[in-house]
Amino acid sequence: MLTVSIFVSHDGSMSDETQRDEPAPPERPSTNNPYLEGICRPVTEEVTALDLPVSGQIPAELEGRWLRNGPNPIGQVEDPGRHHWFSGDGMVHGVRIRDGKVEWYRNRWVRADNVASALGEQPPPGPSFGDRTQHGPNTNVGGFAGTTWAMVEGGGTPVEMTYELDTIGRNDFNGSLPAAFSAHPKFDPATGQLHAMTYCWPDLMDHIQYIVVEQDATVSKVVDIPVPDMPMIHDISITDTYAVIFDHSVTISGRALEAGINVPFGWNDDHPPRVGLLRRDADTAHAIIWCDINPCALFHPLNAYDDADGNVVIDFCRYDRMFDQDLLGPFGDSLPTLDRWTINPTTGRVNEERIDDRGHEFPRHNPRVGLRQHRYGYTSEVTPSIAGLHGATFKTDVTTGVVTSHEYGPGRGGAEPVFVPKVDGQAEDDGWLFVLVHDLERNGGRDRRGAELCILDAADIAAAPVATIQLPHRVPVGFHGNWVADNT
Ligand SMILES: [Fe+2]
């Protein structure tokens, strides 16, 4: 098994206790695919590091794990010219914090047949849908009812992991999941349920599914929703009343299929874009309120809620165009702005507004305002070049449009800002942001220096980090993660 254990002292020096079960494989040759190079370049080792160095002071009340998932193909990618950023084996990175200290860092491939074969292990147990056993979920990782899950959209079965991030196995919610799941289920604190909007390519070409998962990790509700063209529905919003369907302008694409892209989705001018409101208490798709919108693409809502007038308000990151000229990644055709839809369920009219026209992605909010009217959104600045994928961390007051930022310096940028509320927090911004920082010089070259994990004060994000954790390992640009407190 390819596992490297590194023990790091408080002064940050690597000790002689470094142990290798097996030599690391050689560095890979250049691929000319930006999603396999520089700060996206996959790492080739699994690392366990204990007692990591920290500058500043980690808040004493934080006890749990920061987790993050992203694509990290194992071995050589067969055809780098057709390799989409969203494809490849998943790798989860985790940092365990307690008593103001970092007890460990671990990174582990999410086990699937391909990874197990490469590592000389037995394939992971558990069922899959449509014989999808090759690649582990690579998009998100989080905690639910005391368990840990890696997730992906499109058809891959969720994978349950141990606290220490070892794969337990594929888990189709104990046999109750009919097909695909999502990387972005939404948690409703009032019910304890997860809600997801799912598509399954190529198995379910004519409909998507609304899925509700209960606290005991079983699916309690499936609503089949006829939708043409198989849009890439990456996420969902829920309010107290509705589940929201983002039927946008990116669909399965004949052009991408012909080009042999391994995630074959593209911009579709012939697909009428719309938003659907499905009442959460509905058992069929018949009563969905479909509302026309201007052509656009989106992955991520910031938050959504029912307002006092019965409208549905959704703040989200909106793309004018996506996967048109650039079929390998989302930022080649336009950059996402921070926008708002206010949807009147009675008239079906959608009022579209721009909140801020800078590049905003990976939006997060204080989880305590989920499904409620929020004031602040936290996003990662995205830039036109993959070489500088992330920039500042933005905090947007959506009531005023005022944006404040945390700058990381030249060649440095912050990934998805994960909000952790203070235990006794009163104000909406009373909490911390966990942000993985990429450094083009440190993490983009061939050196093996590690990434940094910053903890920012969400009430004053322009200030110096409250704490900075030095990771012993590079973390390729990935997608999503969460803070999973031990008491949840
Ligand atoms: Fe996402």
pLDDT, tens digit (0-9, with 9 covering 90-100), for 286-329: 999 999 999 999 999 999 999 999 999 999 999 999 999 999 99
Residue 330 CA to ligand 1 center (angstroms) comes to 11
Q: What is the pLDDT of residue 469?
A: 97
Length of the chain: 488
Residue 304 CA to ligand 1 center (angstroms) comes to 16
Judged against a pLDDT cut of 60, whether residue 2 lies above it is answered with: no
Please state which of the ranges 1-10, 47-56, 436-445 shows the lowest mean pLDDT.
1-10
487: in domain = no
How many other C-beta atoms can be found within 10 angstroms of the C-beta atom of residue 356?
17
Residues 220-250: tens digit of each pLDDT: 999 999 999 999 999 999 999 999 999 999 9
Q: What is the pLDDT of residue 20?
A: 34
The residue range of the domain holding 66 is 3-368
Q: How many distinct structural domains can be found in the chain?
A: 1
CA distance 470 to 263: 34
Please give the average per-residue pLDDT across 109-135, as a whole number: 95
* Amino acid identity at 369: V
204: in domain = yes
Residue 43 CA to ligand 1 center (angstroms) comes to 21
Task: Name the H helices within 185-309.
Answer: 254-258
294: in domain = yes
Please state which of the ranges 44-58, 210-224, 387-401 shows the lowest mean pLDDT.
387-401
Longest Cα pair distance anywhere in the chain, in angstroms? 69
250: CB partners within 8 A, 6+ apart: 231, 232, 265, 266, 267, 268, 297, 322, 323
Q: What are phi and psi of 345, to 5 degrees?
A: -65, -20
56: in domain = yes
CA distance 324 to 315: 24
Please give the average per-residue pLDDT across 181-197, as a whole number: 96
State the pLDDT confidence band at 384, using cuts at 50, 70 and 90: confident
Q: What is the pLDDT of residue 30?
A: 72
Q: What is the DSSP string of 415-437?
A: ---EEEE-TT--STT-EEEEEEE
CA distance 337 to 357: 5
| Contact between 359 and 381 (Cβ < 8 Å) | yes
CA distance 261 to 181: 22
Residue 151 CA to ligand 1 center (angstroms) comes to 10
* Amino acid identity at 247: D
308: CB partners within 8 A, 6+ apart: none
Residue 363 CA to ligand 1 center (angstroms) comes to 9
Q: What are phi and psi of 180, to 5 degrees?
A: -80, 165
- Kindly give the pairing relationship between strand 64-71 and strand 147-151: unpaired
End-to-end Cα spacing for the chain: 32
> Residue 183 is encoded by which pair of tokens?
């990387």
392: in domain = no
- Return the SS3 of 153: coil
Residue 361 CA to ligand 1 center (angstroms) comes to 9
> What is the number of H-type helices and E-type strands within the chain?
3, 35
CA distance 118 to 312: 48
324: in domain = yes
CA distance 396 to 378: 6
Provide the 8-state DSSP code for 443: H
Residue 13 CA to ligand 1 center (angstroms) comes to 35
Which residue from 221, 203, 201 is spatially nearest to 211, judged by alpha carbons?
221
Residue 98 CA to ligand 1 center (angstroms) comes to 28
Residues 417-463: tens digit of each pLDDT: 999 999 999 999 999 999 999 988 776 665 556 899 999 999 999 99
- β-sheet with 350-356: strand ranges across: 297-306, 312-319, 337-343, 350-356
Judged against a pLDDT cut of 70, whether residue 60 lies above it is answered with: yes
Which residue from 147, 242, 121, 253 is spatially nearest to 188, judged by alpha carbons?
242
269: in domain = yes
Cis amide leading into 178 (omega within 30): no
Residue 139 CA to ligand 1 center (angstroms) comes to 7
b/e sequence 54-66, b meaning 16+ C-beta within 10 Å: beeebbeebebbb
335: in domain = yes
Residue 235 CA to ligand 1 center (angstroms) comes to 7
Provide the 8-state DSSP code for 8: B
pTM higher than 0.85: yes
Placement of tokens 């996420």 in the chain: 235
Residue 115 CA to ligand 1 center (angstroms) comes to 23
Residue 438 CA to ligand 1 center (angstroms) comes to 19
Please give the average per-residue pLDDT across 456-481, as a whole number: 96
Tell me what percent of the residues of the chain surpass a pLDDT of 90: 85
